[in-house]
Amino acid sequence: MSDFIFYFKLGWEHIISLDALDHQLFVLALASVYTFKDIRKVLILITAFTIGHSLTLALSVLDIIRFSGKWVEFLIPCTIFITALNNIFQLDSINKSARINYYLALGFGLIHGMGFANAIRIMLAQDQKLGLGLFGFNVGLEAGQVFVVAIILLIAFFALNFLKIKRRDWIFFLASGVFALSVKMAIERLPF
């Protein structure tokens, strides 16, 4: 059980820590088009991301796939600004943007999983209970994402209902901010 708790904390910190800005921005970009009435859809969305993330993480830890860390670190902010840009382009059809985000979450989760794989590969590969470690990490990651989404939806609820910000304007504000920060990250992480 202590192995599970150790990896759960590792997964939780993977999204909650101050060093997880790229992960938090991606979840923000994905969740920004939703409100509390869409909570089920948002939970499915972040689970799709976790599935993609955990699949590549497992394949990488098992040394089935391996990619250059520099390229992965560059591609992660690219996935974020593509998702934010999708939200901006789909402002007049929010439901379409939300549907596309499911595919982005699953597909881009594959890239994000490779980002953490290099850090955790050695630790998990030396562990006798690889499956338990991956499971604990992914449960911690999912719990952290649910926590971040809850905060995003609470802030959105306040902004939309008390500050009376139009939903379209709210999504544009969030997507623009996420886009700007992720482009800056991508430029800083250019692999050449």
- Of residues 51 and 92, the one with the higher pLDDT is 51
pLDDT for position 142: 95
With 90 as the cut, is the pLDDT of residue 150 above it? yes
Least confident residue range of 62-71, 101-110, 120-129, 145-154:
120-129
* Tens-digit pLDDT profile for residues 19-41: 889 999 999 999 999 999 989 98
Give me the half-sphere count of Cα atoms (radius 13 Å) on the Cβ side of residue 76. Answer: 24
pLDDT for position 4: 86
Sorting pLDDT into bands at 50, 70 and 90, what band is 183?
very high
Average pLDDT estimate for 92-103: 76
Which pTM was predicted? 0.90
With 90 as the cut, is the pLDDT of residue 131 above it? no
Which sequence spans correspond to the domains of the chain? Answer: 2-188
Closest CA to 109 of 177, 27, 1, 10: 27
With 80 as the cut, is the pLDDT of residue 153 above it? yes
